[in-house]
Amino acid sequence: MMLKIPTINASTPSMGILPFSSRKASRFFGASADVFPPFLLKEMEKIEDPFARKLVSRIEMLPVELTSSKNCIMSSCVKPMVQDTASPLVLLHGFDSSCLEWRYTLPLLEQAGLEAWAIDILGWGFNNLENLPICNVDSKRDHLFQFWKSYIKRPMLLVGPSLGAAVAIDFAANHPEAVDKLILINANVYAEGTGNLSKLPKSVAFAGVSLLKSLPLRFYATNKAFSALPFDTCLEWTQITRLHCLLPWWKEATVDFMSSGGYNVTAQINQVLKKTLIIWGENDGIVDSKLSVRLHCELQNAIIRQIPNCGHIPHVEKPDAVADLITEFVPRQLPDTLSSLPVVPEQEQNLLVRQISHK
């Protein structure tokens, strides 16, 4: 018998964009000169997407000490602007990406009254890895746990898109005390790690990783990840996805992860007892949609929702639909007065609608 998956239709999003930080800022658009090196700020000024620019302006560095190496990592994240007494949302990202994935959806979640952190996974994003730590699965898990232990300190609703879903499952299986619920978006959780890539000679691995950050390959991957994306939008989103690749330690950190074998969480899936929401873009060109049904069957306490006319990264392509699904799934306490919730001018709302309404 075929499983009928409920769908949700996207509606016009209502964006809640927040004021810039008071930190020392670049003259371009509010990005902190205390967080980003000058060469990266120069690249960031080329980005026109106002939502990416505003999220960049909110990125901060928080110290996190790793248990294994005792390295103190200045860890990049976007801290919540809404404080809630319920379990906070912690937003991860996909493979070789950054918290900028959440540039459209995070403000919607905050406007709905949710406390949300966007965190860069160790080895990716804008974390300062000048003293390069090991970037294998154990270290990524330790980094997330130490971040949670130092700053969040409450069971969280952990949100993992794509390979971030494997990060979330691995974390929930090893630290169930830190997780209240899971939200998995177009989950890439059945890959057997990095496979033969882990056996490559280092010289070949470094050459391959150099290709990974090239503009043509990133453009191809971005185009494949979304559903019928216009050329100009695809190019802009490609530039955003590769910003963190320009950091001097990115190549070494990526090779270290690839050589370590990567994530293989298939055996951990049925160990996860937490209530889980599975979100799936029906036109995913990267992960077979049949795997979403398999995941729903193997998780012991899961519901599944499908977003029509959407590709592999719904929180970028259909932020309103994703925010609605998360808001429905997450219990929350609204602030005492609705006036304390973030709001945005109608002009910026219309800009987002035009940008994502590409069909």
Does the annotation mark 336 as catalytic?
A: no
Q: Are 220 and 197 in contact (CB under 8 A)?
A: no
Question: What is the C-alpha to C-alpha distance for residues 215 and 239, in angstroms, rounded to an integer?
Answer: 8
Q: What are phi and psi of 59, to 5 degrees?
A: -70, 130
Q: Residue 55: pLDDT above 80? A: yes
Question: What is the C-alpha to C-alpha distance for residues 247 and 22, in angstroms, rounded to an integer?
Answer: 24
Pick 9 or 140 by higher pLDDT.
140
In this predicted structure, what is the pLDDT of residue 338? 44
Q: CB burial class (10 A; 0-12, 13-18, 19+) of residue 132?
A: middle
Q: Residue 83: pLDDT above 90? A: no
Active-site residue among 93, 143, 244, 312?
312
Calculate the average pLDDT of the chain: 84
Q: Using alpha carbons, select from 124, 115, 220, 108 the residue that is nearest to residue 164.
A: 124
Active-site residue among 162, 227, 259, 292?
162
In this predicted structure, what is the pLDDT of residue 15? 35
Q: What is the model's pTM? A: 0.85
With helix as H, strand as E and coil as C, how does the chain read? Answer: CCCCCCECCCCCCCCCCCCCCCCCECCCCCCECCCCCHHHHHHHCCCCCHHHHHHHCCEEEEEEECCCCCCEEEEEEECCCCCCCCCCEEECCCCCCCHHHHCCHHHHHHHCCCCEEEECCCCCCCCECCCCCCCCHHHHHHHHHHHHHHHHCCCEEEEEECHHHHHHHHHHHHCHHHEEEEEEECCCCCCCCCHHHHHCCHHHHHHHHHHHCCHHHHHHHHHHHCCCCCHHHHHHHHHHHCHHHHCCCHHHHHHHHHHHCCCCCHHHHHHCCCCEEEEEECCCCCCCCHHHHHHHHHCCCEEEEEECCCCCCHHHHCHHHHHHHHHHHCCCCCCCCHHHCCCCCHHHHHHHHHHHCCC
Q: Using alpha carbons, select from 85, 154, 147, 89 the residue that is nearest to residue 118.
A: 89
- Tokens 């719904």, located at residue: 314
Active-site residue among 284, 292, 320, 324?
284
Q: Which residue ranges make up each domain of the chain?
A: 38-331
Does the annotation mark 284 as catalytic?
A: yes
| Of the listed ranges 74-78, 139-143, 319-323, 352-356, the one predicted with least confidence | 352-356
Pick 12 or 101 by higher pLDDT.
101
Task: Read off the pLDDT of residues 201-236 as tens digits, 9 standing for 90 and up.
Answer: 777 888 888 888 889 999 999 999 997 889 999 999
* CATH classification code of 38-331: 3.40.50.1820
Does the annotation mark 162 as catalytic?
A: yes
Task: Read off the pLDDT of residues 91-146 as tens digits, 9 standing for 90 and up.
Answer: 999 999 999 999 999 999 999 999 999 999 999 999 999 888 889 999 999 999 99
145's tokens? 């746990």
Sign of the C-alpha dihedral, residues 235, 241, 246, 250? negative
Task: Read off the pLDDT of residues 146-171 as tens digits, 9 standing for 90 and up.
Answer: 999 999 999 999 999 999 999 999 99
